[in-house]
Amino acid sequence: MPTETLEALLAPVFRGEQALEPVFDPEADPTAPPERRAEGYAVLVEIAETVDGYRVTWQERRWGVRSIAQATQQSQRLDDRLQEALAAIERLNERKQGKKILDAEGVNTAAQAILQQQRVVGLVNLHLETTTESVHRRAYRGRPADTLIKQHSTITAPNRPGNLGGCLV
C-alpha cells in the first residue's frame, strides 16, 4: 500500500475522528473473559472493474488493525533506545583522563549523532549550556602574568522516556 494511501486512512484515527473497535481472541473457554488482541476500524472502499465487457462495481470492507502485543513490544524497544541515547548523552559530559574536551559545537554534533544512531531524533529535547571562566595566571620565570579564558560546555536532556505518555500503546 502506498504511503500516501496509508496516511490518508490513518489520519482520522490520529485526529480522533475515527473510533477504534476492539478485536477479541476467539473464546476457547466460554467461562474465561475474552482477551483483547487488537484494535482497529473498517473502511468501505468502492471498487470497479471490467469483467467480460461489463462494468462491475462493489464495495470492499478494508480493516486497519493494530496488534496490542506488537504495539507494546515496539513501545518497549523505543523506551530502551531512549534510555541508551540519554545515557550516551550524559557520558558526553564526563571528564576523564585522555578524553577530548569538546566545545559547544562539538558536543551538540556528538549528541545529534547519538540521537540519529538510536533513531530517536525529535523525541529528546537537548539543552546546551556553556560556562566561561577567567583564570588569572601569575607571572612565572620569563612568562608575564595573563588571564586565561576557559569555556566548558555541558549538554543535558531534561525529558525522560516516561514523559512520552505511552504514545504507542
Going by pLDDT thresholds of 50, 70 and 90, the confidence category of residue 33 is confident
pLDDT, tens digit, 9 for 90 and up, residues 73-117: 999 999 999 999 999 999 999 888 888 888 889 999 999 999 999
Domain boundaries, the chain: 3-128+146-160
Region of residue 16 (phi > 0: left; psi between -120 and 50: alpha; otherwise: beta): left
Q: Quick one: pLDDT at residue 166? A: 45
pLDDT, tens digit, 9 for 90 and up, residues 40-61: 998 888 999 999 999 999 999 9
Report the distance separating Cα 56 and Cα 54, nearest Å. Answer: 6
pLDDT, tens digit, 9 for 90 and up, residues 1-26: 788 988 888 888 889 898 999 988 88
Estimate the crossing angle of helix 68-91 against helix 104-117, to 10 degrees: 160
CB of 23 closer than 8 Å to CB of 40: yes
